[in-house]
């Protein structure tokens, strides 16, 4: 019987099927390690450098195992790529009769009752929204899966999507008239029958949280779980093992309650008379937080928001009474009555002035909404309990899990210190393909002129690269300042995060071939631009998390109280992993080349700079602009005939 490494070898079926397939020792070794973990029901943590081919390295042993395997990813883009491209390719190469399925969270599926309600209500804020609802209606008549990703005519952030998709709050479940036609339920039934199921981390942890509470199970049982983009797991787990409430949830409850009263109890106005004061109170509560968009510890706004919060709680109670009296008039009103009970209890818990031991109590404000959250201080115990409850194989992989050779920052946060850890370097020739440039003379980041200095030092590099550059920032403020400073400074097209959805910006970046893209946050990871279109990545500074973040600050305080070193044990390793993600955008193929510009002078002025440098691929390093210009001039020369 062939081993996974045989399948991925020079004489294997993938080499025969795929033109340009190159066997890689790192990929073969990782595939055998994954196979051993599945067979032995082990916990394996595997870092695979860019170009290892980790997707095939876990797909091949997963399909060969004959077990039911759930594969979880961090992004919907990778989830779709796995299901539509990689999995079918490997399945065909192995000639195995394996059923595969894709399952996303409910917000990714069209909800037919919600679409009907939107059309029936017919009150839209603009003609554009009305037109988009009609576009959804036409698509609803032809789609088989109801996956909103199919409808590319609507942007991802269209206000129409929340109107035509459901949430756990407003779903009627088995009482829905469309239950048998529900796209989400069809996807869940297919998931139950599949041999290989592709999900995402949010859905996986939502399922874990439901199992923890004893209410149900979204995901079928499996013999092995493979978690790709595993560096995201600690933060995702923190979100799902906590609790939160938002102003939008309360406003949606009020609006849905009014709609259901009109539909199922048109002779009554009691729900509207309770819901409209609730809507006003929720908007007043947003104003009570203050105008700036920010996040902070709950205690700092407690006094200013509590009077309005108490009024909001009272209006929730009044709406609850009104819905209870009408709940027998229809399924929609009954569902709203259940929602208001659950949201009232959660609201009372979250706006309380009583501390909850082991949790971080914090808030965040958005332009028109707010959120109040209880986040667990640590998730190691609850995550470890999940793994012990389901003692299958757990494989966690990413290009960025270790600091130098040390996995402890990742494994300790998840309570899996006994995991098997393996690491494979990238097979790319970074010494030949890439240059690391640290510009001299830039002030340290606290300086007011820091971003201006970054821009001035970036300009000649961008010119040498012929555009073709990502500029990655650690804050939206720095991104906006840089965008203003770059205006009119060169002839290359500038693409700025926020001006269009991420997918559209990336598509435009690839098409133009000489653009400069300014991004933060989501552009640091999960972005794959191969070839000359991306030949330079400029990072403004080392990506330490904001010290003003309430969750981080609470964890720092606890670590310090326990005698630990928060900077060494948490902030530094987390920043190293984040930097590795950003750096990973540059070289995506064996034929790629490029320059990485790290503008932060702390790489040389602080002792911890060495930790960052040691975590980077072994590329040529320089502080001389002429080395960068020479590198690009050589790469731009035509190849000899």
CATH number for the domain that contains residue 351: 1.10.275
* Domain-terminating residue out of 181, 205, 226: 181
State the pLDDT at residue 174: 78
Rounded CA separation 91/114 (Å) = 37
> Which whole number is the average pLDDT over 529-534?
90
* Interval 129-173: pLDDT, tens: 888 989 999 999 999 999 998 888 887 778 889 889 988 778 877
State the pLDDT at residue 301: 94
Q: Please determine, for residue 219, whether its predicted confidence score (pLDDT) is greater than 90.
A: no
DSSP 8-state class, residue 526: S
Give the max Cα distance, the chain: 84
Termini Cα distance of the chain: 46
53 contact partners, CB below 8 Å, separation of at least 6: 8, 24, 26, 27
**Confidence grade of residue 493 (pLDDT, cut at 50, 70, 90):** very high
351 contact partners, CB below 8 Å, separation of at least 6: 305, 306, 309, 313, 372
> Which whole number is the average pLDDT over 531-553?
91
Residue showing tokens 């576009």? 135
Domain range enclosing 415? 4-105+185-240+379-424
C-beta separation of 514 from 466 below 8 A: yes
The answer to the question of residue 439 being in a domain is yes
> Which whole number is the average pLDDT over 101-114?
91
State the pLDDT at residue 398: 95
How many CA atoms, within 13 angstroms, populate the side-chain half-sphere of residue 156? Answer: 12
The answer to the question of residue 341 being in a domain is yes
* Interval 417-467: pLDDT, tens: 999 999 999 999 999 999 999 999 999 998 999 999 999 999 999 999 999
**Confidence grade of residue 207 (pLDDT, cut at 50, 70, 90):** confident
Q: Are residues 44 and 193 in the same domain?
A: yes
Report the candidate in 207, 235, 33 with the shortest Cα–Cα distance to residue 106.
207
State the pLDDT at residue 217: 67
Rounded CA separation 160/391 (Å) = 42
C-beta separation of 68 from 445 below 8 A: no
Q: Are residues 547 and 563 in the same domain?
A: yes
State the pLDDT at residue 168: 79
Signed CA dihedral, 89, 90, 94, 98: sign only: negative
State the pLDDT at residue 212: 56
Q: Are residues 251 and 385 in the same domain?
A: no
C-beta separation of 210 from 217 below 8 A: yes
Q: What residues pair up with 43 in beta bridges, in sequence order?
A: 394
State the pLDDT at residue 64: 95
Q: Are residues 116 and 93 in the same domain?
A: no
C-beta separation of 137 from 238 below 8 A: no
Q: Are residues 540 and 583 in the same domain?
A: yes
138 contact partners, CB below 8 Å, separation of at least 6: none
C-beta separation of 273 from 321 below 8 A: no
Q: Please determine, for residue 1, whether its predicted confidence score (pLDDT) is greater than 80.
A: no
Token pair belonging to 43: 């916990």
> Which whole number is the average pLDDT over 288-295?
89
Token pair belonging to 619: 């590329």
* Domain-terminating residue out of 130, 164, 181: 181
Q: Please determine, for residue 213, whether its predicted confidence score (pLDDT) is greater than 80.
A: no
* Residue 208's CATH number: 3.40.50.300
Rounded CA separation 388/392 (Å) = 9
- Strands 434-437, 620-622: pairing is parallel
**Confidence grade of residue 200 (pLDDT, cut at 50, 70, 90):** very high
Q: Are residues 116 and 98 in the same domain?
A: no
State the pLDDT at residue 639: 45
For residue 210, how far is the Cα from the chain centroid?
20
The answer to the question of residue 393 being in a domain is yes
State the pLDDT at residue 211: 63
State the pLDDT at residue 215: 47
97 contact partners, CB below 8 Å, separation of at least 6: none
The answer to the question of residue 566 being in a domain is yes
DSSP 8-state class, residue 547: T
C-beta separation of 92 from 18 below 8 A: no
C-beta separation of 326 from 261 below 8 A: yes
* Interval 222-270: pLDDT, tens: 899 999 999 999 999 998 889 999 999 999 999 999 989 998 998 999 9
Q: Are residues 311 and 370 in the same domain?
A: yes
The answer to the question of residue 63 being in a domain is yes
Rounded CA separation 529/535 (Å) = 9
State the pLDDT at residue 172: 78
Rounded CA separation 621/437 (Å) = 6
* Interval 336-370: pLDDT, tens: 999 999 999 999 999 998 888 899 999 999 988 99
For residue 280, how far is the Cα from the chain centroid?
32
Neighbours of 641 (CB within 10 A): 3
> Which whole number is the average pLDDT over 93-120?
90
The answer to the question of residue 641 being in a domain is no
Look over the chain and give the mean of its residue pLDDT values, rounded to a whole number.
Answer: 91
Q: Please determine, for residue 638, whether its predicted confidence score (pLDDT) is greater than 80.
A: no
> Which whole number is the average pLDDT over 595-613?
95
Q: Are residues 300 and 367 in the same domain?
A: yes
Count, residues in the chain: 641
Rounded CA separation 575/10 (Å) = 38
- Strands 370-376, 243-246: pairing is antiparallel
Q: Are residues 220 and 292 in the same domain?
A: no
Total count of domains within the chain: 4
The answer to the question of residue 630 being in a domain is yes
Element holding 375 (H helix, E strand): strand 370-376
State the pLDDT at residue 179: 85
**107 CB-contact burial (10 Å; exposed 0-12 / middle 13-18 / buried 19+):** middle
State the pLDDT at residue 634: 86
Q: Are residues 292 and 363 in the same domain?
A: yes
Report the candidate in 95, 110, 63 with the shortest Cα–Cα distance to residue 82.
63
Q: Please determine, for residue 641, whether its predicted confidence score (pLDDT) is greater than 60.
A: no
State the pLDDT at residue 640: 44
Q: Please determine, for residue 310, whether its predicted confidence score (pLDDT) is greater than 60.
A: yes
Q: Are residues 396 and 410 in the same domain?
A: yes
Element holding 72 (H helix, E strand): strand 69-73
Q: Please determine, for residue 26, whether its predicted confidence score (pLDDT) is greater than 50.
A: yes
Rounded CA separation 419/416 (Å) = 6
Instruction: Write the CA distances from 88 to 82, 92, 99, 102, 461, integer angstroms.
Output: 8, 6, 10, 12, 42
Rounded CA separation 377/358 (Å) = 5
* Domain-terminating residue out of 376, 391, 413: 376
Q: Are residues 366 and 515 in the same domain?
A: no
State the pLDDT at residue 374: 95
C-beta separation of 360 from 551 below 8 A: yes
Residue showing tokens 């932060």? 600
């Amino acid at each position: 019987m062939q081993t996974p490494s045989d399948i991925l070898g020079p004489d294997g079926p993938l080499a025969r099927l795929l033109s340009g397939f190159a066997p890689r020792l790192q990929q073969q070794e990782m595939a055998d390690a994954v196979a051993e973990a599945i067979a032995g029901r082990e916990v394996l943590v595997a870092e695979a450098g860019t170009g290892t081919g980790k997707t095939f390295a876990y797909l091949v042993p997963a399909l060969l195992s004959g077990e039911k395997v759930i594969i979880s990813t961090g992004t919907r883009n990778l989830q779709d790529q796995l299901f539509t491209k990689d999995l079918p390719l490997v399945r065909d190469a192995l000639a195995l009769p394996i059923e595969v399925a894709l399952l996303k969270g409910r917000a990714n599926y069209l909800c037919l009752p919600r679409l009907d309600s939107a059309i029936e209500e017919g009150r839209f804020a603009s003609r554009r929204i009305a037109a988009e609802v009609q576009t959804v209606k036409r698509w609803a008549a032809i789609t088989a899966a109801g996956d909103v990703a199919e409808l590319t005519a609507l942007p991802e952030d269209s206000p129409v999507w929340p109107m035509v998709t459901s949430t756990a709050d407003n779903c009627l479940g088995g009482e829905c008239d469309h239950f048998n036609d529900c796209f989400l339920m069809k996807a869940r039934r297919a998931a139950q029958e599949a041999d290989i199921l592709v999900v995402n981390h949010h859905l996986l942890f939502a399922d874990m949280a439901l199992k923890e509470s004893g209410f149900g199970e979204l995901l079928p049982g499996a013999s092995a779980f493979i978690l790709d983009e595993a560096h995201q797991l600690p933060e995702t787990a923190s979100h799902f093992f906590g609790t939160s409430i938002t102003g939008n949830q309360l406003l949606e409850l009020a609006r849905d309650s009014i709609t259901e009263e009109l539909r199922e109890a048109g002779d009554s106005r009691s729900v509207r008379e309770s819901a409209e004061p609730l809507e006003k109170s929720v908007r007043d509560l947003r104003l009570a937080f203050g105008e700036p968009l920010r996040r902070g510890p709950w205690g700092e706004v407690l006094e200013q928001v509590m009077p309005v919060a108490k009024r909001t709680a009272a209006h929730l109670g009044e709406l609850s009474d009104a819905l209870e009296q009408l709940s027998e008039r229809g399924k929609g009103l009954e569902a709203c009555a259940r929602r208001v009970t659950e949201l009232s209890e959660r609201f009372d818990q979250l706006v309380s002035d009583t501390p909850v031991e082991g949790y971080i109590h914090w808030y965040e404000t958005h332009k028109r909404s707010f959120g109040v959250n209880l986040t667990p201080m640590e998730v190691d115990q609850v995550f470890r309990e999940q793994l012990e409850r389901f003692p299958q194989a757990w494989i966690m992989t990413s290009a960025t899990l270790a600091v130098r050779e040390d996995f402890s920052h990742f494994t300790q946060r998840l309570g899996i210190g006994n995991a098997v850890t393996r690491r494979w370097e990238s097979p790319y020739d970074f010494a030949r393909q890439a240059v690391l440039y640290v510009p001299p003379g830039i002030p340290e980041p606290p300086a007011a002129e820091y971003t201006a200095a970054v821009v001035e030092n970036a300009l000649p590099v961008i010119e040498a690269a012929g555009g073709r550059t990502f500029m990655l920032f650690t804050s939206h403020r720095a991104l906006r300042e840089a965008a203003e400073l770059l205006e009119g400074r060169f002839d290359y097209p500038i693409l700025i995060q926020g001006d269009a959805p991420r997918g559209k910006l990336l598509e435009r970046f690839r098409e133009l071939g000489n653009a400069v893209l300014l991004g933060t946050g989501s552009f640091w990871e999960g972005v794959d631009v191969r070839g000359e279109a991306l030949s330079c990545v400029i990072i403004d500074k080392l990506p330490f998390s904001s010290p003003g973040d309430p969750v981080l600050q609470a964890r720092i305080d606890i670590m310090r109280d326990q005698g630990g070193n928060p900077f060494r044990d948490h902030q530094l390793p987390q920043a190293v992993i984040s930097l590795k993600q950003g750096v990973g955008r540059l070289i995506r193929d064996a034929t790629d080349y490029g320059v990485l510009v790290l503008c932060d002078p702390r790489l040389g002025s602080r002792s911890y700079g060495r930790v960052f440098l040691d975590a980077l691929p072994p590329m040529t390093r320089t502080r001389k602009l002429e080395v960068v210009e020479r590198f690009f001039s050589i790469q731009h020369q035509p190849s000899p005939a």
